[in-house]
Structure 1
Amino acid sequence: MGQTEAQAGDSPTAPTLERDSGKAPRTAVLFPGMGRFDFATAGRFLVLDRYARHRLAIADEVLGFSVLERFHDAGADYSEYAQLAFLVASLAAADRAEDRFGMRPDVCAGASFGQKAAAAYAGSLDFPDVVRMTAELARCEREYFTTEHSDVVTHSVYRVPDEEFHALLAEMRDRGDWFDISGELDRGFYMVSLPESRLDAFIRAVRDLGGYSMYTMRPPVHARVFGPLRRKAEAEVFANYRIRAPRVPVISDADGTVVDSAEAMRTMLLDTFDRAIRWPDMVTSMAGLGVGTLYVTGADDMFHRLNSTARTFDVITVNPKNALRPGPPKLRSRAAA
């Protein structure tokens, strides 16, 4: 325990994919980041889907309580139990995509919270360990934000004109207002961490630019100032788990690099605390590897709809909203984007 395979002296690597050389298009699976997720939107899937029921039975045995019951009663978007249910739903959707629809991905990716599901799917962590780690990290973050940066939130904005938006950020910086870019999701689509006391003024400024606000995350995510949280999680949680090299190449959400070793996987999982996510870099990396079809497995209202996604890949979504419908999932062709 407490060692990656590389540290333990056994360091297999994932199969190496060459950059696209005119061969048949490859397939990738994306485990999306966690947006608003509650029992009303996902409960029916978790109760009725046989893949979800199987995953829940394992999670319940690991944790010693019913994830479904606690998720039903939690109410909070990002509670420990919502995170556990989201993890289960994401992997159950991938199980269904494999078993029912023949998904055989050459590449795996996880954006933000989706990294945990990606680590399990790629074989770097066993599912029971990912369940334990998810619960422990949720408690670790809750403890940290109780005393540190308790006034910080992460807010998502979209359709902002890039030049004017960066000018707004420069004005904030010149005034001494603290903020950090926590995510670049698409052209004009950003996640920004800032003090909650400045949130209303920021939303008004974005609106004045013609942009729109999406949602606010509490606790906040992916900011450089959260380095102490990274170190706390590494010492108190990650030290207890053996992380292996992935069986398939994984794409880092911080910069699009290919993760193919145990140490790189561990670093990627830790980077999520204090490095911004950059979806355009992930898209560029997957396209460069020859990915033509992208499965998005799990609850997702965003990544499969982004312009960069729709223009680059043929997209198939398998999620709690459509998984129980008869017939195969609908493919959204990039030719129609």
Structure 2
Amino acid sequence: MESKSQQAEETGGVPGGVTGIVFPGMGPQDFSVSGKFLLIDPVASEMLAEASDTVGYDVFARYKDSTSDYSEEAQIAFLVVCLALARWAETTQGVSPQFCAGPSFGGKGAAVYSGALAFGDAVRLTSRLARYEAAFFTEECPGIVTHSFARTPRAVLDTISAELTASGEWHEISCHIDDDFYMLSLRDERLEWFQKRLRAEGGMPLYTMDPPMHASLFAPLRDKVEAELFGELRFADPRIPVVADQDGSVRTTADGVRGMLLDGFVKPVVWPAVVDTLLRSGVRDLCVAGPDSLFSRVPRTTRNFRVDQIGPRSVLQPRPTRA
């Protein structure tokens, strides 16, 4: 076990450092693990029951039968898993964050955890958003995907982007994860070409998200959601500051968190900006609450923080307690 002096040395002289909590963006889940956690963990089970009452159907049953990684019920289940893991971190590991962040889908978890949005409202929002997005990307903006890729420096991405522009192809960066890790939204008809160009330049294509996210082209969806969904929500000033995933700004008001969630439709995630803000705020310990293989692992995160990635698999296994 590390001494307090050793911890202070590792955290730049700040004894124990300041703790931040991150709710990760959503990716494919392993149902055998997440499903087991939802049934076994008492907090998760209670929250899952509340979520089912809120939407009027058995979320777990639909999640079990879901064939899509991003179905409505999968999104609700992911929200529940992340928030229950955050509670587990508090009660079991003694985590007491002074800052909160939630890139991409994680923004909903951050809004709830910070106290800016009630859990029931977040569940209703997640449910209805899934339906709005499905309709929008089927009827009004079809054929767009968001593709993630690594080992691609910005200069290389700019070269490939220039080729897309020269051919008249719309495209936008949707996420900036690390110095050589991005997500790009583009027409699915050009995805194969894009992947080949990445490989030719030494890049590594990863996975494709459908529905897509975080691009100015989706402004009509943002406006519709604000007009028809957000008017029903009550936001409060957060109890702990929320770091916006678009620019690293610190949101301490209800309107600030509300705006962050809406901006997520049309502005890219810029994770380095979040990291910079957390560092300036003295954060040295970072708890990532939720299934994650991205934000907790990239060098921008691991070289700046002591990271505790708390996922369902790790919670279901014995873990040492924190000092």
TM-score by length of 1: 0.90
Structure-2 separation of matches of 1:22 and 1:259: 27
The one-letter code matched in structure 2 to 1:151 is G
Indicate if the aligned counterparts of 1:32 and 1:303 stay in contact, CA closer than 8 A. yes
Higher relative contact order (CA 8 A, sep 6+): 1
Alignment partner, residue 320 of structure 1: 312
CA displacement 1:252-280 (0-9 Å, x = unmatched): 00000000111111100101100000000
Alignment partner, residue 3 of structure 2: none
Structure-2 separation of matches of 1:23 and 1:293: 11
Indicate if the aligned counterparts of 2:244 and 2:260 stay in contact, CA closer than 8 A. yes
Q: State the SS of the aligned residue for 2:148.
A: strand
CA displacement 1:85-110 (0-9 Å, x = unmatched): 00000001001000111110000000
Indicate if the aligned counterparts of 1:317 and 1:329 stay in contact, CA closer than 8 A. no
Alignment partner, residue 188 of structure 2: 196
Contiguous gaps of at least 5 residues in structure 2: 1-10
Q: Alpha-carbon deviation of 1:165?
A: 2.0
Q: 1:21 to 1:204 in 2, by over 3 A?
A: closer
Indicate if the aligned counterparts of 1:58 and 1:128 stay in contact, CA closer than 8 A. yes
Please tell me the root mean square deviation across aligned C-alpha atoms, in Å. Answer: 1.7
Structure-to-structure mapping, 1:172-211, within 5 angstroms: 172-211=164-203
The one-letter code matched in structure 2 to 1:276 is P
CA displacement 1:19-49 (0-9 Å, x = unmatched): x997542000000000112423421111212
Indicate if the aligned counterparts of 1:165 and 1:209 stay in contact, CA closer than 8 A. no
Q: Alpha-carbon deviation of 1:52?
A: 1.1
Alignment partner, residue 85 of structure 2: 93
Of the structure 1 ranges 42-51 and 79-88, higher mean CA displacement relative to structure 2 is found in 42-51
Structure-2 separation of matches of 1:63 and 1:96: 25
Indicate if the aligned counterparts of 2:93 and 2:322 stay in contact, CA closer than 8 A. no
Alignment partner, residue 210 of structure 2: 218
Alignment partner, residue 39 of structure 1: 31
Q: Alpha-carbon deviation of 1:330?
A: 8.8
Structure-2 separation of matches of 1:240 and 1:140: 15
Question: 2:241 pairs with 249, 253, 268, which one?
Answer: 249
Q: State the SS of the aligned residue for 1:194.
A: strand
Structure-2 separation of matches of 1:45 and 1:203: 36
The one-letter code matched in structure 2 to 1:57 is A
Structure-1 separation of matches of 2:13 and 2:318: 35
Structure-2 separation of matches of 1:214 and 1:266: 31
Q: Alpha-carbon deviation of 1:214?
A: 1.0
Q: State the SS of the aligned residue for 1:157.
A: strand
- List structure 1 runs of 4+ shifted beyond 2 angstroms: 20-24, 327-331
Question: 1:48 pairs with 33, 40, 44, which one?
Answer: 40
Alignment partner, residue 298 of structure 1: 290
